[in-house]
Copies of this chain bind each other. A is one copy, B any other.
Amino acid sequence: MASLSTVFDSLKTAQAKLALENRNRKDAALAAVCKAVGAARQEILAANAADVEKARTGGMKESLIDRLLLTEKRVDSIIEGIETVIRLEDPVGKIKSGWQIPNGLLIEQIAVPLGVVAIIYESRPNVTADAFSLAYKAGCAILLRGSSAALESNRALVKAVKKGLETTGIPAAVELAQSGSRDEVDEILCARGRIDAVLPRGGGGLIRRVVDNARVPVIETGEGNCHIYVEPSADMNNAVDIIENAKLQKPGACNAVETVLVHRDALGPLMPLLAARLAGKAELRCDAASGAAIGAPPQGLVLKDAVESDWETEFLDYILAVKTVNSLNEAVGHINAYGTSHSEAILTNDLRAAEEFCRQVDAACVYVNASTRFTDGGVFGFGAELGISTQKFHVRGPMGLDALTTIKYRISGSGQIRE
């Protein structure tokens, strides 16, 4: 591969051209990519088999191997993912606002592509195609930096993507960074003026490393230490339904709940029901008061004493921490101290409590009487999702294609000068 510096230049050049393409031409290019990925199916599966074999030899855990693995069906899903992007509206060129100022100048605020975007991600090869297709639709060039474990799979995928794009005459605007070295990541993170934004997708360690070292703008995504606060006026049967759903429907999701905060006056009605529901399904890590409120433990309940580190942990597992609070303020204080500004819920029938919780909790998504699991670009109606931003700058919460745009002012005059 060419040096990264050359790659940055070619992506910038390609992006400048891609930015001028209309939706029809971009969609046609993406359709050609679908075809090319389909045609390269055997090649992609063979490359993936090599990655998987190497990973197994290297002792990778089976759960991670499952994330790496491609099958016929998963290649179909990759193609379907691109087809979904084809159906999305083009975010580029939208006139977001427009007005005339007194001297007759017309000011229009127009959505334009963000530019060259880098994504640094862990082993799932489907992210390669997803990220490319979303970036392409938004008129952005993309630099893909996958994990070394998925290198052959990603090479085969990007080769197919480029082959599809070749047929269209539009510049490729996609490159794979593939030396696998850490220096490569550092070079991407420091490429000010050449990379317009970097998206880390993966675990907390990856995200923190990127955030700490980046000199280019970062979009932090996906760390979710989410809470549900149960207020005494809540419907306790519904509360148990919601907590079970938020914890168990997909425990590995970033919007799964990790700690339930229970008002002391809600302990009595809630805890026995919750313990009965989660017995045999999830381990409870309770503080003294909430543990005591369970009473006689139902059969199959795994109950442990919560420790300080539990409040900080995104378990991503069949584990739920439970903490007693004396007030809404204490719940809000705990969430703002330990949360990751992702998704936070209150279960209540008290209007003022709902209002205060929503205003005071500092998070991308605040819920009243619903599961935190709804924080999702698809659920929100964005059609596709780039990730969930947990930062406040540029974009917050589920990210659709708009997150890959910025604006430009076009000012049209007839000779105006400033007095």
Contacts and interface: CB of A to CB of B under 8 A. Distances in A.
Given A192-B211, A393-B197, A415-B241, A101 B380 contact: yes
A114 B392 CA distance: 7
B366 A415 contact: no
Nearest to A244: B417
Contact of A411 (B19, B101, B367, B415): B367
Interface residues of A, number: 64
Given A415-B241, A415-B369, A393 B406 contact: yes
A167 interface: no
A64 interface: no
A322 interface: no
Contacts of A215: 212
B415 A105 contact: no
Contacts of A16: 336, 360, 362
Contact of A407 (B359, B396, B412): B396
Interface in A317-352: 336
A246 B415 CA distance: 12
Interface string A221-263: 0000000000000010010011011100100000000000000
A23 to B, nearest CB: 15
B249 A415 contact: no
A47 interface: no
Contacts of A242: 415, 417
Contacts of A20: 359-360
A418 B373 contact: yes
A196 to B, nearest CB: 6
B409 A366 contact: yes
Interface in A110-168: 114-115
A365 interface: yes
B360 A393 contact: no
B406 A392 contact: yes
A397 B393 contact: no
B359 A418 contact: no
Contact of A105 (B362, B374, B412): B374
Residue from the set A16, A371, A396, A411 with the largest chain B CB neighbour count within 10 Å: A411
A186 B80 CA distance: 48
Each complex incorporates copies of this chain amounting to 2
A391 B193 CA distance: 10
A105 to B, nearest CB: 6
A411 B371 CA distance: 10
Residue from the set A217, A393, A414 with the largest chain B CB neighbour count within 10 Å: A393
Given A197-B393, A365-B411, A416 B336 contact: no
B393 A249 contact: no
A411 B374 contact: yes
A413 B242 CA distance: 11
Given A99-B381, A380-B107, A412 B211 contact: no
A413 to B, nearest CB: 3
B196 A370 contact: no
A368 interface: yes
Contact of A417 (B115, B358, B373, B392): B373
Residue from the set A107, A371, A409 with the largest chain B CB neighbour count within 10 Å: A409
A409 B392 contact: no
Interface in A76-109: 99, 101, 105, 107
Residue from the set A249, A412, A415 with the largest chain B CB neighbour count within 10 Å: A415
A418 B215 CA distance: 38
**Closest 4 CB pairs between A and B?**
A370-B413, A245-B417, A373-B418, A392-B406
Given A217-B393, A370-B417, 7 more contacts: A19-B359, A20-B360, A364-B409, A365-B411, A368-B412, A393-B393, A394-B394
